[in-house]
């Protein structure tokens, strides 16, 4: 059983998320909060990401994680479905409110598809 916010994360939950994402005004899905790629959560995150990309392949999927792409994540199945990964722990001392899509200077915004194809970290532009 996978718990999200103290509630069981079920196929019904995934179906609800996908139904909301079908709206033409929704451009994609962002997965963040807590730690979606923690070993306790990655199974549910992978299942959601796979279902999302299978049903809505033209919409983008972003994930925010304190784990790093090259050290922890590049070989995980969830990366096959991820378009953009914001990786690295938020560090308050490195906070910069002018940054796009990330909160602290140490974090990276990674184009996952290009990074997987090149076997190197390619930043998202």
Which tens digits make up the pLDDT trace of 32-88? 988 999 999 999 999 999 999 999 999 999 999 999 999 999 999 999 999 999 999
Q: What is the pTM of this model?
A: 0.92
Query: Is 114 inside a domain boundary?
Result: yes
Give the Cβ contact number of residue 81 at 10 Å. 20
- What's the structural domain count of the chain? 1
Query: Is 87 inside a domain boundary?
Result: yes
CA 46 to the chain's CA centroid = 9
How many Å apart are CA 21 and CA 107, to the nearest integer? 27
Query: Is 103 inside a domain boundary?
Result: yes
List the structure tokens of 6. Answer: 């103290």
**124 contacts 109 by C-beta, under 8 angstroms:** yes
Range of 76's domain? 62-125
Q: pLDDT confidence of 4, banded at 50, 70, 90?
A: low
Query: Is 49 inside a domain boundary?
Result: no
Give the residue from 90, 77, 100, 79 showing the smallest Cα distance to 35.
90
Query: Is 57 inside a domain boundary?
Result: no
23-35 pLDDT per residue, tens: 999 999 999 988 9
List the structure tokens of 33. Answer: 């909060």
Query: Is 89 inside a domain boundary?
Result: yes
Query: Is 41 inside a domain boundary?
Result: no
Q: Where do runs of H (alpha helix) occur along the chain?
A: 11-21, 42-55, 112-118
Query: Is 54 inside a domain boundary?
Result: no
């Amino acid at each position: 059983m996978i718990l999200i916010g103290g509630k069981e994360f079920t196929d019904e939950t995934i179906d609800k998320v996908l139904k909301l994402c079908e709206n033409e005004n929704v451009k994609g899905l962002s997965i963040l909060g807590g730690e979606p790629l923690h070993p306790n959560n990655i199974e549910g995150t992978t299942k959601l990401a796979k279902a999302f990309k299978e049903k809505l392949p033209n919409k983008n999927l972003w994930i925010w994680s304190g784990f790093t792409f090259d050290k922890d994540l590049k070989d995980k199945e969830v990366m096959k479905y991820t378009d953009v990964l914001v990786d690295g722990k938020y560090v308050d001392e490195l906070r910069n409110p002018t940054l796009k899509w990330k909160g602290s200077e140490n974090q990276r915004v990674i184009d996952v598809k290009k990074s997987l194809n090149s076997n190197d970290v390619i930043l998202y532009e």
